[in-house]
Amino acid sequence: MDERKTALQRLGSQFTMGLLALALLLVVLEFILHRHGEVAAEDFPLFPALFGFAAFLFIVQVGKWLRMMIMRDEDYYND
Partner 1 sequence: MTDPMISFNIASWPPGLIMILAAFAVPWIPHVARQIWMLAAIALSAFGLATGAGVHAVWQVMGLELVLYRADHLTFPFALIFHIAAALNVIYSWHDRKWSEHTASLSYAGAAIAAVHAGDLITLFIWWEATAVTSVFLILAAGTDRAQRAAMRYLLFQVLSGVLLLAGAAVIASHGGTISFDSMSFGGPDALGVWLVFFAFGIKAAFPFLNGWLQDAYPEATATGTVALSAFTTKLAIYALARGFAGTDMLIWIGAAMTALPVFFAVIENDLRRVLAFSLNNQLGFMVVAVGIGSELALNGAVAHAFVHILYKALLFMSMGAVLYQVGTIKASALGGLYRQMPFTMVCCMIGAMSISAFPLFSGFVAKSLTMSALGDTGIVWAYMVLLFASAGVLEHSGIKIPYFAFFAHPSRHKTGEAPIGMRVAMGIAALLCVGIGVFPKPLYAILPYAVDYHPYDVSHVTGQLQLLIFAMLAFIFLVRMKWYPPEIPSTVLNSDWFYRSLVPRLGRPVVSAMVGVWGSFLRMLIWYRDMGWAVIDRVMHAPISGPTVPGRAVMVQALLLSLLLLLGYLLLG
Choice from 10, 14, 44, 57 touching partner 1 (CB under 8 A): 57
CB atoms within 10 A of CB 70: 7
Tell me the C-alpha distance between 76 and 73, whole Å. Answer: 5
Q: Report residue 76: phi and psi, to 5°.
A: -55, -45
In the complex, the smallest distance separating the C-beta of residue 10 from partner 1, rounded to whole angstroms, is: 12
Site string for partner 1, 12-31 (x = CB under 8 A): x--xx--xx-xx--x--xx-
Tell me the C-alpha distance between 41 and 47, whole Å. Answer: 8
# residues near partner 1 by CB under 8 A = 51
36 Cβ partners below 8 Å, 6+ apart?
A: 42, 43
Choice from 10, 31, 44, 79 touching partner 1 (CB under 8 A): 79
Residues of this chain that interact with partner 1 (CB under 8 A) are 1, 4-5, 8, 11-12, 15-16, 19-20, 22-23, 26, 29-30, 33-39, 41-42, 46, 48-57, 59-60, 62-64, 66-67, 70-77, 79
